[in-house]
Amino acid sequence: MVTATPIPVIRCRACGRLGIPPQYMCDACGGCEIDPAEIPGHGRVYSHTTIRVAPDAFAGQIPYTVVLVDLESNLRITARVTPGSEDLVDVGRELIFDRLDADTGYWFRVVP
C-alpha cells in the first residue's frame, strides 16, 4: 500500500464521531466540543464527474475532476483529483490524500 498523508478531520469529544470540517456541532449527539483529528489518507472512488462548465472562481481550471471518496474510516468526502491522473479515475479506484487547499478543499491522487 502506498503511504499517504493523514487527512485532517474533526472528532466529537462526547461520542467520538468523526466529521469533515467545518462543523461546529456533532451530527450524532449534538455535542459542541469538537477537536481536530487525523485519519489515514486512503480511500476509494465512490463516484466521479468531470467539470467542464465551472463557476467563475474555477473557470480557469476546467476541465477538472471531482470525486466522492469512501475513506477507510467510513467517512465519505468530496475532493478534487490532482492534475495528471484524471484519466485513471474509475469507481473503486484507490486514492491517497494529497493536500488540503483553503480555496479548493481536499485533493487526492490516483494510485497507479
pLDDT tens sequence across 22-53:
889 999 999 999 999 999 999 999 999 999 99
> b/e map of 67-101 (b: 16 or more CB within 10 Å)?
bbbbbeeebebebbbbeebbeebeeebbbbbbeee
Pairing assessment for the beta strands 76-81 and 34-39 based on DSSP bridges? unpaired
Q: Which fold has domain 7-110?
A: OB fold (Dihydrolipoamide Acetyltransferase, E2P) (2.40.50)
Those residues of the chain that have pLDDT short of 50 are none
Report how far apart, in Å, the C-alpha atoms of 77 and of each of 4, 41, 45, 56, 67 are: 16, 11, 10, 23, 8
Question: Which pLDDT does position 39 carry in this prediction?
Answer: 95
Rounded to two decimals, the pTM is: 0.88
Distance CA 31, CA 8 (A): 19
Distance CA 11, CA 53 (A): 35
